[in-house]
């Protein structure tokens, strides 16, 4: 359908180009709902006001040529900035793959729609110096390098136990260098470290350590020295918390996490809490199967698509990756849809999705 609409808009640009050339409009003028994307929602404004008299009716800015009605010239002007997937273009996913059970490595995938994924580098992009790479998180730092942090399970990959997470860097997503181990000493579980870059540019990693969420951060520019861990605190936290993911929005920190309950996590649900402080004072906002994703669910990663639009990626327990969308800042979510890729035998596992540009 999207291709058909794009072809139709293209034809309109061609047929009605000459009259439209007399008018100059910008992408901002075509973004009628101010979500930084000229997309389907803006197209609906055009169609809802089609051929109406804008002198007696509020056309919501769709009368781009100021002719007094929304017509084909306006459609042509609008088509010039049509870009329904602008906020989804060039998404990058770092993950492990279930086909490598017990020998997991870093896999990188890229997508132009966030639904169908293409494998980068023809196979694994990086292998840990020892043990495994599970649950990798990725971000691009101000030094131009990409950094990953990952579960290493250095005491027993088979039993998912370990005392540390690993950090590696790359200038180009191809050549990777081990940076350091961040070790927590006498603990049994160190799972799913997740990067978070605060509004002041400071870099943090949040990680589940023995079912509590801890914050650590590099204390030098080389990422080889790290702070002592701080336990994230809040009210009504569940007994077992894993898979942290932090979002900062409108002056508030949102801690997304997995409530790892039930026998072997069989009833695990994705929940979130909020606070004005990064590491303390959190209050649980949503718990249980509040979004209708079911259980067990884990490994959540959120991507902002502009305005109040978000996409979440998550997986079934030790299973495949799915996505769901919200257009009202997390109040409601669509049904889960399975992510597809060009290497289906690998099965994408727990990972993080970011905008690559």
DSSP letters for 306-324: STT-EEEEEEETTS-EEEE
Say if residue 303 is in the same domain as residue 178.
yes
Query: Both tokens of residue 85?
Result: 């997937």
Sign of CA dihedral 185, 153, 315, 245: positive
Say if residue 74 is in the same domain as residue 133.
no
Provide the 10 A C-beta neighbour count for residue 34: 11
Give the DSSP letter of residue 154. Answer: -
> Residue 84's pLDDT is what?
55
One pLDDT digit (tens) per residue for the chain, 357 residues: 444 545 454 544 444 444 444 566 777 788 887 756 677 677 878 888 888 999 998 999 999 989 999 988 888 888 877 665 555 557 999 999 988 889 999 999 999 888 889 999 999 999 999 999 999 999 999 999 999 999 999 999 999 999 999 999 999 999 999 999 999 999 999 999 999 999 999 999 999 999 999 999 999 999 999 999 999 999 999 999 999 999 999 999 999 999 999 877 789 999 999 999 999 999 999 999 999 999 999 999 999 998 999 999 999 877 789 999 999 999 999 999 999 888 878 888 899 999 986
Tell me whether residue 84 is in a domain.
no
Say if residue 126 is in the same domain as residue 52.
no
Length reported for the chain: 357
Query: Both tokens of residue 258?
Result: 């997995």
> Residue 16's pLDDT is what?
44
Q: What is the CATH number of the domain that holds 118?
A: 2.115.10.20
Say if residue 31 is in the same domain as residue 102.
no
Whether the upstream peptide bond of residue 3 has omega within 30° of 0, thus cis, is no
Say if residue 334 is in the same domain as residue 293.
yes
Say if residue 304 is in the same domain as residue 162.
yes
Q: How many domains does the chain have?
A: 2
Tell me whether residue 85 is in a domain.
no
Query: Both tokens of residue 30?
Result: 């075509």
Q: Say if residues 27 and 42 touch (Cβ distance below 8 Å).
A: no
- Helix/strand/coil percent split, the chain, to 5: 15, 40, 50
Tell me whether residue 261 is in a domain.
yes
Tell me whether residue 347 is in a domain.
yes
Q: How far apart are CA 155 and CA 128, in angstroms?
A: 14
Say if residue 71 is in the same domain as residue 107.
no
Q: How far apart are CA 24 and CA 28, in angstroms?
A: 12
Q: With CA atoms as reference, report the closest residue to 324 among 281, 290, 292.
A: 292
- Strands in 212-216's sheet, in edge-to-edge order, are 190-197, 203-209, 212-216, 230-231
Owning domain of residue 70: 2-79
- Given 79, 107, 125, which residue is the final one in a domain? 79
Tell me whether residue 86 is in a domain.
no
């Amino acid at each position: 359908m999207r291709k058909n609409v794009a072809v139709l808009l293209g034809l309109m640009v061609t047929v009605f180009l000459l009259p439209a050339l007399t008018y100059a409009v910008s992408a901002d003028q075509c973004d009628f709902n101010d979500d930084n994307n000229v997309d389907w929602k803006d197209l609906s404004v055009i169609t809802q006001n089609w051929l109406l008299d804008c002198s007696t009716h509020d056309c919501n800015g769709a009368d781009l040529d100021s002719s007094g009605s929304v017509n084909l010239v306006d459609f042509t002007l609008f088509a010039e900035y049509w870009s329904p997937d602008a906020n989804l273009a060039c998404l990058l996913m770092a993950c492990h793959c279930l086909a490598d059970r017990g020998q997991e490595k870093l896999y990188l995938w890229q997508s132009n729609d966030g639904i169908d994924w293409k494998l980068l580098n023809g196979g694994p992009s990086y292998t840990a110096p020892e043990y495994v790479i599970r649950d990798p998180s990725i971000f691009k730092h101000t030094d131009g390098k990409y950094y990953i942090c990952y579960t290493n399970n250095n005491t027993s990959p088979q039993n998912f136990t370990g005392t540390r997470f690993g950090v590696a860097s790359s200038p180009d997503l191809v050549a990777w260098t081990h940076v350091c181990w961040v070790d927590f000493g006498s603990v049994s579980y160190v799972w799913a470290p997740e990067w978070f870059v605060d509004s002041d540019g400071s870099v943090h990693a949040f990680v589940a350590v023995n079912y509590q969420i801890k914050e650590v951060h590099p204390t030098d520019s080389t990422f080889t020295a790290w702070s002592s861990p701080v336990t994230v605190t809040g009210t009504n936290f569940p007994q077992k918390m894993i898979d942290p993911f932090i979002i900062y929005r409108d002056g508030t920190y949102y801690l997304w996490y997995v409530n790892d309950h039930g026998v072997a996590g069989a009833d695990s649900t994705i929940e979130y809490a909020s606070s004005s402080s990064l590491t303390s004072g959190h209050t649980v906002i949503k718990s249980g199967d509040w979004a209708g994703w079911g259980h067990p669910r884990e490994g959540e990663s959120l991507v902002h698509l502009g305005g109040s639009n978000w996409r979440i990626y998550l997986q079934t327990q030790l299973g495949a990756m799915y996505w769901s969308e919200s257009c009202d800042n997390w109040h409601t979510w669509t049904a889960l849809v399975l992510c597809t890729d060009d290497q289906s035998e690998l099965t994408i596992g727990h990972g993080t999705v970011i905008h690559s540009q």
